[in-house]
Structures are given as C-alpha cells and as structure tokens.
Amino acid sequence: MKIEFLNTSYTHNNPKCHPYNFGYNQRQPINLPIKDTVSFGQAVPQSAIKYLKSKKIELYSLGLDKYFLQLFDAKQLEGIQNGIEIFNGLSFSQIAYMVNNLTGIILQRGCTNSCIHCFAEAKPPYFMKKNNFIEKIDFEDYEKLCNGFKELNKRLGFNVFSNGSKSLFYDSDCSMIYMQDKSGKMYDYADLAKMFHEAAKQRILFDTAGWNKNDTKTQKRMEDLVKKIANSNEYDFLQFNISVNPFHSIYSKSLDLKAQGKTKEAKRLEEIFTDRIANVIFTSSPLIDKTNSYTNKSMLGFIFRGLFDFTDLDGYHAHDLICMFDDIAERVGKLYEEDLASGRHKVIKNQEQLDKYYYFLKGRVHSRIELINMTNERLINKLGDIDAGEWNILRQYSFNSVKEGIKFTDGFIDVNGKFYMTNYMETYPTDIAINYTTKGKSTAPIRPNLRDGVITKDIIEEYYS
C-alpha cells in the first residue's frame, strides 16, 4: 500500500522548551511537503506505518526537515522490516541497534602483513584454510545486504545511517579484497564500496599496509583500481589511506636482526620493506589529485603509527618513524624521476607534477603520528615487562560487564553475518545475525579481547526502553 503525508499546517507555541529543538526561535505555521510518499509491502503492520507518519509530522512541526533513526522509537517501528530477506529473524530494535553502531561490513578475513600492532590480530589466509574457517561472504549475500538497506531507507523515507565513515574490512588488507559473483564477474574494492555507498551514502575507507610488488595479480589489480578511481567522479566517496608503521612483519624482523647485531640481514629486510611501501605510494599517487567529496581534501592519505618514546623498543618510536618515512619518500621520488625519464609516464607526466607529488609526500609525516594503544598479545609480548604507570597510559581501563559493552559505539558484521561491538580494546558478541547463506558457519576468532558475555535482544530492548 501507499501512504501520502498530506499538506497540513502545524503551529508549535514554544519550541525552546522541546527536547527536539536545535536552536530554532518561535516558528510560524509550517507546511509539511506533499511529496513524502512511502511504499510498503503487505506484511508491514499498520501500527508501524501510522507511527512513522505521525512522528515525521511531529518532528517537522518542531523545525526538523531531516530525520535520523535515533529520533524514532524502534519498538514503535517494529515490523517495518518485514519481508526484507536479509533481516529475517531480527526485531527492528536489533536492526536499529546494529545500524546506529555499524562502522564496518567484513567482506574477507585474513591478512598476510601480520603487523604486530594490529588490533584485530589478523591471521594469514592459510590459518583460515587449515582450521576450515570461512574467509569470505558470497557476493550475492553482500548484494542482498546492500539492497536490504536500500529498501529499509525507502520504507522509512530517510537514510538510516548517520554521517560517518564506513569500512568493508576488519582484519584484511583492502588491497587483498575482491569478490566474484556466480557468473564469474569480478568486483574490486572500489566496485564493492560503490554498492554500499549507493545504499548508505557514507564515506568508505580503504586502508592498506601494502602488498608485495612481485605479486603481479595484486599489483595489476591495484593499478587498475587506482586508474579507475582517478579517472572517474563515481568514487569520490572513497578515502584511500596508506598505513606506514614499523610494526609490519618484515620491518619488525629487520629491527630484531639489527638488535642481534646481524646488520647485513637487517638491512636487506629494511630495504625490502621500504621498496614495498615506496611502490604502494607510487602506484597510488594519481589519487593525490583526486578530492574526497566528504572532506574536500586529497583522497590519498597516510596513517603513521608509532610507540610512546618511553617504551624500550628501539626503532618503533615516533621519531624513528619520521626517519623511516623520509627514506621511503626519497625512494618514491626516485621512482617518479625514473617514470618521467622513461617516457612511459605510468604516473608522472611532467616535471611540475613530479614536484607537486614529491612536495605532498614530504609534508605528510610531520603533520600527525598516531600513538599505539595496547590491544593485542603480539604487542604486549613485544613490549615485555612495563610498570603499572606505563601500562595505564598505554591501555585504558577495560569494561567488565555486557551492559557496559552495549555502550560501545563501533560495530561490525562478520563474514558469517554475526554482529559484534568493540571499542578496539575489547569486543562483545551480540545475538544479532544477518541472514547470510554462511549464517552459523565458523570464522576465525574475533579480536581484540572477545568477551564471554553476549549483548542479547533483551538487553537491546531494555536499552531502547
């Protein structure tokens, strides 16, 4: 059936006293637009439709012409999701809780970089195969999820997602993520991000700690992806971040060898790592000229991560990171020069562009370095013994109860459809599970610090009441 919200006048006498007032002064009678038509399936209860209509009229009369899911009573909207296959078995309160906190949809599990600071303690892909864990969702499940969010937005008449960035990864490097549908058609990360952006209208993050430049398949896929994004305005919602840190398994091993006095071996691994990251930056450089429409800044960004200076780990501190990146930037500069001189012009077309890109790189690391928090066993074991005062700086006090866990603000959907909440220091499972074909199958253990308690439907209902 269809409902049309009629063109009706409302007067609100004292909006200053109303909790929904956002600084509006005394308002004159206002008109609710006629063009607010919502289509519903037969399974949607009249009570939910009636509440949606009346609540929109109330909010509009108070001066709000843009709606947010948090302003609506999830219990009153129960049934609005009926018939959307991907949400089968979930109450609307569960869906609302998931949507309000959703920061990531995991498309793939596992990573070959094995960075010791990784909050997700990512395991390599062979770990998944060895333990018979599923490592990807089916493309068709992902498509159904995106279409499910679209349909939910259509029924409600507004976007259920608040402003913010979203990711399609958790413990997998984005350069390694791609999918294939049943017909054999391939989708790279940009294609998959576009699908979710069309459903959620959110900025999508692409984070990479790099790939092996001798991996010809990944190198070709990334060259094609960068070219596609750089030459089209269809992907201006992407934020492409390169993670530069001393925690990568290759560089970390070089520091271990250096500490053991094995200078030659250490230098070889250090050069492998710096060449690797230099290639990643060179390949991604065309994105310097692209603008992210959400931030109005360059689409290419950097995430620099180091340790507090008081920790006794040479090579991992913030000041060491600056020296590392200066070396990497010099190597990228040489790649620019070689590209220009060769006449191939894969990236650099002229000297002016070379100077611009090089200047852009040289100014990055001095702007912001993110200090690492304690989140996983790898890093704890690396640090060794530290006193209580240092520990309290490195790690926040953790929560101990499930009801505290519900207050976390970041949630993600695993490849088997299970929804988790985290503060990136510890993680709570919920009883929310998206209706994937992989539902109920086992995945690699979720990190960091997965708790035993479960955020249940009853806890969520109580939370909303």
Q: How does pLDDT run across 406-415, given as a tens digit for each residue?
A: 889 899 999 9
Q: Residue 300 pairs with which residues in a beta bridge?
A: 240
Q: How confident is the model at residue 81 (pLDDT cuts 50, 70, 90)?
A: very high
> Does 405 score more than 60 pLDDT?
yes
pLDDT digits (tens, 9 = 90+) for 270-304: 999 999 999 999 999 999 999 999 999 999 999 99
Q: What span, in angstroms and rounded, lies between the C-alpha atoms of 355 and 324?
A: 21
Cα dihedral across residues 314, 316, 317, 320: positive or negative: positive
pLDDT digits (tens, 9 = 90+) for 360-395: 998 887 667 777 765 667 777 777 665 545 554 555
What is the distance between the terminal CA atoms of the chain, rounded to a whole angstrom? 30
Helix 318-342 vs helix 351-362: angle between axes, to the nearest 10 degrees? 170
Q: What span, in angstroms and rounded, lies between the C-alpha atoms of 30 and 10?
A: 6
Lowest mean pLDDT among 4-13, 79-88, 233-242: 4-13
Q: What span, in angstroms and rounded, lies between the C-alpha atoms of 27 and 60?
A: 11
Q: What span, in angstroms and rounded, lies between the C-alpha atoms of 429 and 285?
A: 39
Q: What span, in angstroms and rounded, lies between the C-alpha atoms of 154 and 89?
A: 20
pLDDT value for 367: 62
Q: Higher model confidence: residue 282 or residue 65?
A: 282
Q: What span, in angstroms and rounded, lies between the C-alpha atoms of 16 and 370?
A: 41
Give the distance from CA 54 to its chain's centroid: 35
pLDDT value for 66: 86
- Structure token digits, residue 328: 């990497």
The residue whose two tokens read 């809780």 is 97
Residue type for position 342 = S
Q: How confident is the model at residue 342 (pLDDT cuts 50, 70, 90)?
A: very high
The residue whose two tokens read 């206002």 is 30
Q: Alpha helix locations (H) across 241-286? A: 249-259, 263-284
Nearest CA to 120 out of 209, 241, 239 is that of 209
Average pLDDT rounded to a whole number, residues 196-206: 96
Q: What angle do CA 412, 447, 165 make, to 5 degrees?
A: 30
Average pLDDT rounded to a whole number, residues 94-102: 96
For the chain, the C-alpha Rg in angstroms (whole number) is: 25
CB 75 within 8 A of CB 93: yes
Residue type for position 69 = L
Phi, psi of 166 (to 5 degrees): -130, 155
Q: Residue 421 pairs with which residues in a beta bridge?
A: 411, 428
* Rounded alpha-carbon distances, angstroms, from residue 289 to 198, 299, 345, 370: 24, 8, 16, 25
pLDDT digits (tens, 9 = 90+) for 120-155: 999 998 999 899 999 999 999 999 999 999 999 999
pLDDT value for 43: 84
pLDDT digits (tens, 9 = 90+) for 151-172: 999 999 999 998 789 999 999 9
Q: What span, in angstroms and rounded, lies between the C-alpha atoms of 101 and 285?
A: 33
Q: Where are the beta strands (DSSP E) in 383-448?
A: 410-413, 418-422, 427-433
Q: Alpha helix locations (H) across 160-306? A: 189-200, 216-230, 249-259, 263-284
Q: What span, in angstroms and rounded, lies between the C-alpha atoms of 368 and 378?
A: 25
Q: How confident is the model at residue 226 (pLDDT cuts 50, 70, 90)?
A: very high
CB burial readout 241-254, b (16+ within 10 A) else e: bbbbbbbbbbbbbb
CB burial readout 210-233, b (16+ within 10 A) else e: bbebeeeebbebbeebbeebbeee
